[in-house]
Amino acid sequence: MDKFNKMKTFCCAAETLSFSRTADILQISPSMVSKHISALETELDTRLFSRTTRQIILTQEGKTYQKQCGLILDELDEVETSIRSEARADAGRLRLSLPIDFGIKILAPMLADYLDKHPNVTLDTVYDNRYVDLIKGRYDLAIRIGAKFPDSALIAKRLIPTCAVLCASPDYIKKNRPIHSIQDLKQHNCIQYSNSHNQQHWRINGPEGESLIRINSNLRSNSDNSIMIAALRGLGVALLPCFLVNNHLASGDLIHLLPEYSVNNMGIYAVYPQQTYLPSKVKTFIEFLRTSLQHKRHCNKKLHKNLRCIAIHLDSTSD
């Protein structure tokens, strides 16, 4: 039997001095009221009420217990009210797990805008390319980039679609064999992302469907930004996210190779643990990011409309 329910029953009975009236107020049976009071008296090893056939009267111990119970229940009500208010309001700490390159280049400026609009929220950001355990790490939300997330304990909500494209520097292209087909990649140094599930192959979509290409690499990194720098220095062919290389493709510092091929089933996702009641601050942050990323993507499409890598149709109804 729940202690707080028994305490509420006792306080109501102490106020009304009637078990039947208490039963009506709490919408339980009179026998349940009597059961709660008897259970408390057994636990406390003292009588809280003096009972006659016509009335009940608080004992001295009952009066003392009523006063203390009232304080405890009032404090509990205040805590519950505070928690409910915080859950419904955009306030409190919001702990985020963010990928390093995307987080610093794209998200960091947006976080400042978010805080301007929501000054009662405190952001706790952790930049890490690993898929950290959100529950053990007590994260409210993670931003992840990929095609799918099999962890059934998490909810993955797509914010926008994205892609990855093949690219290399003009200097690398000039000094090495031409790349006319996807199979030509086997003859080139392909800079590999070390956090990939398959470090020996690239899985790329093209006119004939999905291709699995075995690659050779003398450089691996867990940072897309370092891979991009290596590609800019002419060290090899890279498969990089569009958000990272759009400006370099537009300027000509990198050349978009085989534009009919890309990894186009990727998305930028907000990922969070399953829960019945999602706090308002999490909902608001997800919607803020969705709107901000869609706006940035729209601007990129207008600025670089000649680049196929940002011409993917936005499927806003897929979530």
Distance CA 254, CA 248 (A): 5
Residues of the chain with CATH 1.10.10.10: 3-88
The residue that leads in pLDDT, 146 or 312, is 146
* Per-residue pLDDT at 307: 44
Res. 303: pLDDT tops 60: no
The residue that leads in pLDDT, 253 or 296, is 253
* Per-residue pLDDT at 260: 92
Residues of the chain with CATH 3.40.190.290: 163-264
Banded pLDDT at 92 (limits 50, 70, 90): confident
Res. 17: pLDDT tops 80: yes
Banded pLDDT at 287 (limits 50, 70, 90): very high
* Per-residue pLDDT at 132: 86
Tell me the mean pLDDT in the region 136-149.
87
Closest CA to 257 of 312, 308, 304: 308
* Per-residue pLDDT at 86: 62
DSSP 27: T
Tell me the mean pLDDT in the region 176-182.
93
DSSP 216: B
Query: For the ranges 12-26, 198-212, 297-311, which has the lowest average pLDDT?
Result: 297-311
Banded pLDDT at 144 (limits 50, 70, 90): very high
* Domain 163-264: top CATH class: alpha beta
Res. 200: pLDDT tops 90: no
pLDDT in tens, 96-119: 999 998 999 899 999 999 999 999
Q: What secondary structure, in 3-state letters, does 228-281 show?
A: HHHHHCCCCEEEEEHHHHHHHHHHCCCEECCCCCEEEEEEEEEEEECCCCCCHH
* Per-residue pLDDT at 309: 43
Total residue count of the chain as it appears in this document: 319
* Per-residue pLDDT at 249: 93
* Per-residue pLDDT at 33: 92
* Domain 3-88: top CATH class: mainly alpha
Q: What is the mean pLDDT of the chain?
A: 86
* Per-residue pLDDT at 312: 35
- Residues of the chain with pLDDT > 90, as a percent, come to 55
* Per-residue pLDDT at 297: 75
Res. 78: pLDDT tops 80: no
* Per-residue pLDDT at 88: 60
Name the fold adopted by 92-161+266-310: D-Maltodextrin-Binding Protein; domain 2 (3.40.190)
* Per-residue pLDDT at 319: 40
* Per-residue pLDDT at 318: 36
Query: For the ranges 62-71, 168-177, 193-202, which has the lowest average pLDDT?
Result: 193-202
Tell me the mean pLDDT in the region 121-130.
92
Residues of the chain with CATH 3.40.190.10: 92-161+266-310
* Per-residue pLDDT at 184: 94
* Per-residue pLDDT at 304: 47
Letter for the amino acid at 316?
S
Res. 281: pLDDT tops 70: yes
* Per-residue pLDDT at 311: 35
* Per-residue pLDDT at 308: 45
